Structure 1
């Protein structure tokens, strides 16, 4: 079982880790594929982004794909430095054998276009002192990657991970009276949606200028920019476009594992919600689902969820 870094070794370890700041993490990295139209198309389809800027002879890649062109895939990159491997091994030796990505920051200097071949270098920008989190005690490691095309800087990518020793806390029980679900955040941009939910209606915004449907609710049309809109009521039919099964971290008033689906409605827009009526490990992409409204606790609003049925069975 992994153990958290001891207090006695903490100061000495922190000094050793700090010595890696400024040292290279990747040297002479080369993107495995040039910027290309198929990957841009897959990205845009997954995000539902139909901007004309990403197609045609003058196409550019979505800016947030910057990291995509530097990723090593399952086989990884051979350009990772010995210093970075030594840093990770030092953390492993201290019991910080688990890792989770925490956040990233990007800066864009010019658009990337199909045919561009990216190169990149990165270095260890910072290593934090020991931090105690709900996941466990560990260290935040931040790397900065400089991305280039033909030697010209095109962007930077900061990536932060937490290398930690897992905390083995007992699973929370449901005996606490304070374990209540958080209420939905209602603001001026989504108040109409929640008003509809209160009437057991799932409302989709529709642009009055170009008639494009949009969800989640936005103050303006993501296709033409118009601020004029009305709503249409969803039929309630949909399919599971994608899904995840939540196991960790446990959260008061929730009982993992449970399935959260990206549901494609019959109207063509997508919504994130729970998939009920089938075991969490039986949810599948393409599964038909039907809208329901469920109140999980007294005093809480009803929520739109989606019930799936297993083939040949009646949903329960």
Structure 2
């Protein structure tokens, strides 16, 4: 990495981009519309027969997305900043977090416009992924009714840290909100949160209930029974640490199946599907929980096919 004098000079160069426009006069590709609201609600698990007369606030960024064709109005300054970071060796990127502020609802038929600015560029930071700079972009979203909300999106542009072994399985990110879950996994328990206010079960772990807002909760141990709600088959990139889900090919990195598992308790969990070739995984296939000891430090909950039919294990 650069020495301290070079690093300070470089930081002053990239910090000069703070306050510069990233997008000016952006326009949403489509007006706020009921089909998009319906898709969003269904993806969030809202299976009610009716949908709200306004867009859910958390859809704020959706109306600004440009799709594969992108948007007009993007500033050259944003590309220049990224080119500087790439040229200094910070070639990798990861989204770290976002913040949203809601000021008024968006209703079907409204047209969305937006402007974005590079709000901040951090000094060089050392993280587990590697050393780099955090870049925060603020987007102001408007419609005919005025400012609807603000969306802040933060990424880390970093130089990947050297790994001691390319075969080491990546570690989960453990924080104060999910530490109890991983402590349970280490004891071979799959723990679900249950709200202390309305008794709603939730997963993944959250600090508060998304149904009633209560911060009180307790845990329930899942039975381990479930079905495949949806799945994808990973082909690339190939990581040696991820062995194939087909037990007949130990050590083969890909392809392998990653499933969205509907637990018997009603919540959904994302994990690997094992015990069956990847091309035999099917939606609705019954699965059962097992715990995979990856190494001396890491245990993961995975789901083995419980189907006694074609491709399954008895």
Same fold by TM (over 0.5)?
yes
Contact 2:91 2:158 (8 Å CA) reproduced: yes
Distance 1:51 1:6, change over 3 A: farther
Deviation at 1:124, TM superposition (A): 0.9
Deviation at 1:111, TM superposition (A): 1.2
Contact 1:204 1:233 (8 Å CA) reproduced: no
CA deviation vs aligned residue, 1:3-61 (integer Å, no higher than 9, x gap): x4554521111111111111111000001111111111111211213468x715xx111
1:263 alignment counterpart? 261
Give the counterpart of 1:55 among 42, 51, 64.
Answer: 51
Give the counterpart of 1:114 among 101, 108, 112.
Answer: 108
Unaligned runs of at least 5 residues, structure 1: 188-192
Deviation at 1:261, TM superposition (A): 2.9
1:312 alignment counterpart? 310
> Are 1:238 and 2:227 counterparts?
yes
2:138 alignment counterpart? 144
Counterparts of 1:99 and 1:18, CA distance in 2:
18
* TM alignment of 1:4-153, pairs within 5 A: 4-5=1-2, 7-50=4-47, 55=51, 59-150=53-144, 152-153=146-147
Unaligned runs of at least 5 residues, structure 2: 244-255
Deviation at 1:170, TM superposition (A): 2.8
Under a length normalisation based on structure 1, what TM-score does the superposition of the two structures give?
Answer: 0.70
Deviation at 1:277, TM superposition (A): 1.6
Deviation at 1:222, TM superposition (A): 3.5
Distance 1:81 1:221, change over 3 A: closer
Counterparts of 2:55 and 2:122, CA distance in 1:
34
CA deviation vs aligned residue, 1:171-226 (integer Å, no higher than 9, x gap): 2778xxxx9xx8x8559xxxxx99xx87xx999979xx9xx984449997939x9x
CA deviation vs aligned residue, 1:121-175 (integer Å, no higher than 9, x gap): 011111111122222222111111111002600100111111122233232778x
1:190 alignment counterpart? none
CA deviation vs aligned residue, 1:86-129 (integer Å, no higher than 9, x gap): 11111121122221111111100011121121100011111111
1:288 alignment counterpart? 285
CA deviation vs aligned residue, 1:256-276 (integer Å, no higher than 9, x gap): 467653212467542344422
Counterparts of 1:260 and 1:39, CA distance in 2:
26
Counterparts of 1:235 and 1:295, CA distance in 2:
14
Counterparts of 1:140 and 1:132, CA distance in 2:
11
Counterparts of 2:192 and 2:163, CA distance in 1:
41
Structural RMSD (CA): 4.8
Q: Count how many residue pairs are aligned between Structure 1 and Structure 2.
A: 290
Contact 1:60 1:114 (8 Å CA) reproduced: yes
Contact 2:140 2:150 (8 Å CA) reproduced: yes
Distance 1:11 1:62, change over 3 A: same
SS of the residue corresponding to residue 227 of structure 2 reads strand
SS of the residue corresponding to residue 67 of structure 1 reads helix
Counterparts of 1:186 and 1:247, CA distance in 2:
32
Contact 2:276 2:311 (8 Å CA) reproduced: no
2:253 alignment counterpart? none
Under a length normalisation based on structure 2, what TM-score does the superposition of the two structures give?
Answer: 0.71
